[in-house]
Amino acid sequence: MAKTYDYDLFVIGAGSGGVRAARVSAGHGARVAIAEEYRVGGTCVIRGCVPKKLLVYGAHFAEDLQDARRFGWEVGETKFDWSVLRDNVLSEVDRLEGIYGEILERNNVEAFDQRATITGPNEVQLADGTRLTAATILVATGSTPIVPEIDGKEHGITSNEVFHLEAIPKRVAIAGGGYIANEFAGIFHEFSCDVTLINRGDQILRHYDEQVRDRLLQISLVKGINFIFNAPFEKIEKQEDGSLLLHMKDRDPLETDMLLFAVGRAPNTAGLGLESASVELGKNGAILVDEDNQSSCPTIYAIGDVTDRVQLTPVAIREGQAFADTVFGNKPTRVDYESIPSAVFSHPPIAGVGMTESEARTKLGSVKTYVSDFRPMKNVLAGRNERSLYKLVVDDATDEVVGIHMIGPDAPEILQAAAIAVKAKLKKSQFDEVIALHPTMAEELVLMR
């Protein structure tokens, strides 16, 4: 007789990936439970993409209010109240958390608001000691901000805490040069902070096209954001007045009021009990999985950041969907990782899809690039000397557009549509056939010759 379990599926972690996997599996008829130790919604909804984007909107008013005067608006004295923005953002997060909870409930997924750990290939233990069995276990525990092992690291904060600040500090230092560093450098700068971004290397946003990230660096410098490159931290000292003294290798120390660590995120596998089911881990403690998200233990699967493949919410959601369709929907599905669009919500934002110019030159050899370097008409009237840059990377042999890279207002909004063309492997000549939609910034995409 087949062994019976309490559930067909037990999901650990109710973030974007876990919730999608749970609800779709339940829709396919599986008996599903999910455990979440913090808040339903996960990093993206609770302390990542969503509240960050709302802060980006809030911060951008600093420029919009200035520019409004050039468009004829009399703007009186303006004042920014952080507590209003913070509290409104946090209540929006509460609302979304409620919706995620309802999604689970509506789909008959049993939710446990406590930590679950694995105690065997088919068993989990909840924090209250309850042991439950499942035919399949899905680990979707996400990732956690890395705090480097340096003296005084406890004086810094991470993106987990940044949404809850009591007040906006005067001086902000940010360790790292990636997504979070550049996004929060922009946010705090718009809030009138004196911002310094400190990077261990000499490049920001290493995986983006060089010309585009150089443009962000140049615009950020002109705005007044400070950058310190090649400056690994040695120690962090808290001074009597509460300020921090940051000691870096071969540099004068920097005094600041807040240090934000944005040096990457590591998979959340510590203390999960994965060894009890012989689940193999890779670099950074990531769960190693095959193309079907299955770990070395056949009953245990993993999706999202905990697998450290592509740390992006929409990818975790796709993986959750593919897992549910494959394992419970009788519809084997694999995620296609080619041409994933991504964006950095800096001021101005960056967006890209496909190969950067240097990747294309390495992989394809002969490559043509088309660049439009222009000042958006809104910036011209506003007297804002900030130029956008759009770039098409084209395979010379096939005329296929293999990459699009952009920096400028609304770049992520424009790129999402343009990414369809790259995914569909459209040719440059097909871009040329499209008549421009005038006057827009996006028309540059079909006007580059």
Q: Among all residues, which ones are annotated catalytic? A: 438
- Based on the shown chain and the rule CB under 6 A, indicate whether residue 176 belongs to the binding site for ligand NDP: yes
- Regarding beta strands 194-198 and 171-175, do their DSSP bridges make them parallel or antiparallel, or are they unpaired? parallel
Q: With contact defined as beta carbons under 8 Å apart, do 260 and 162 qualify?
A: yes
CB of 310 to ligand NDP, least distance (A): 7
Instruction: State which residue, 28 or 200, has the beta carbon closest to ligand NDP.
Output: 200
> Segment near ligand NDP (CB under 6 A), from 108-116, 258-266, 291-299, 371-379?
258-266
Instruction: State which residue, 24 or 195, has the beta carbon closest to ligand NDP.
Output: 195
- Based on the shown chain and the rule CB under 6 A, indicate whether residue 180 belongs to the binding site for ligand NDP: yes
- Based on the shown chain and the rule CB under 6 A, indicate whether residue 47 belongs to the binding site for ligand NDP: no
Supply the DSSP string of 310-359, one letter for each residue: ---HHHHHHHHHHHHHHHTSS-------TT--EEE--SS-EEEEE--HHH
Instruction: State which residue, 31 or 53, has the beta carbon closest to ligand NDP.
Output: 53
Q: Which of 35, 56, 262, 289 binds ligand NDP (CB under 6 A)?
A: 262
CB of 399 to ligand NDP, least distance (A): 30
The closest alpha carbon to 181, from 200, 168, 153, belongs to: 200
CB of 122 to ligand NDP, least distance (A): 32
- Based on the shown chain and the rule CB under 6 A, indicate whether residue 141 belongs to the binding site for ligand NDP: no
Q: With contact defined as beta carbons under 8 Å apart, do 376 and 440 qualify?
A: no
Beta carbons within 8 Å of 106's beta carbon, 6+ residues apart: none
- Based on the shown chain and the rule CB under 6 A, indicate whether residue 122 belongs to the binding site for ligand NDP: no
- Based on the shown chain and the rule CB under 6 A, indicate whether residue 263 belongs to the binding site for ligand NDP: yes
Site size for ligand NDP (CB under 6 A):
23
- Based on the shown chain and the rule CB under 6 A, indicate whether residue 16 belongs to the binding site for ligand NDP: no
Residue nearest ligand NDP (C-beta atom): 178
> With the C-alpha atoms ordered 99, 100, 104, 105, is the resulting torsion angle positive or negative?
negative
CB of 74 to ligand NDP, least distance (A): 36
Instruction: State which residue, 274 or 343, has the beta carbon closest to ligand NDP.
Output: 343
Q: Which of 200, 251, 378, 384 binds ligand NDP (CB under 6 A)?
A: 200
Burial profile 107-140: b = 16 or more Cβ within 10 angstroms, e = fewer: eebbbbeebbbbebbbbbbbeeeeebbbbbbbbb
- Regarding beta strands 367-374 and 388-395, do their DSSP bridges make them parallel or antiparallel, or are they unpaired? antiparallel
Question: Residue 76 and residue 65: Cα distance in Å, rounded?
Answer: 10
Question: Residue 70 and residue 275: Cα distance in Å, rounded?
Answer: 63
- Based on the shown chain and the rule CB under 6 A, indicate whether residue 312 belongs to the binding site for ligand NDP: yes
Supply the DSSP string of 362-414, one letter for each residue: HHHSSEEEEEEEE--HHHHHHT----EEEEEEEETTT-BEEEEEEESTTHHHH
Which of positions 360-379 make contact with ligand NDP (CB under 6 A)? none
Question: Residue 98 and residue 317: Cα distance in Å, rounded?
Answer: 19
By three-state DSSP, how is residue 446 classified? helix
CA end-to-end span of the chain, whole Å? 69
- Based on the shown chain and the rule CB under 6 A, indicate whether residue 236 belongs to the binding site for ligand NDP: no
> Segment near ligand NDP (CB under 6 A), from 25-33, 80-88, 180-188, 316-324?
180-188
Q: With contact defined as beta carbons under 8 Å apart, do 361 and 367 qualify?
A: yes
Supply 75's token pair. Answer: 């703007």
- Based on the shown chain and the rule CB under 6 A, indicate whether residue 217 belongs to the binding site for ligand NDP: no
CB of 373 to ligand NDP, least distance (A): 24
CB of 279 to ligand NDP, least distance (A): 23
> Segment near ligand NDP (CB under 6 A), from 111-119, 169-177, 235-243, 419-427?
169-177
Instruction: State which residue, 201 or 332, has the beta carbon closest to ligand NDP.
Output: 201
Q: What residues line the site for ligand NDP (CB under 6 A)?
A: 148, 175-181, 183, 199-201, 206, 262-265, 311-312, 342-345
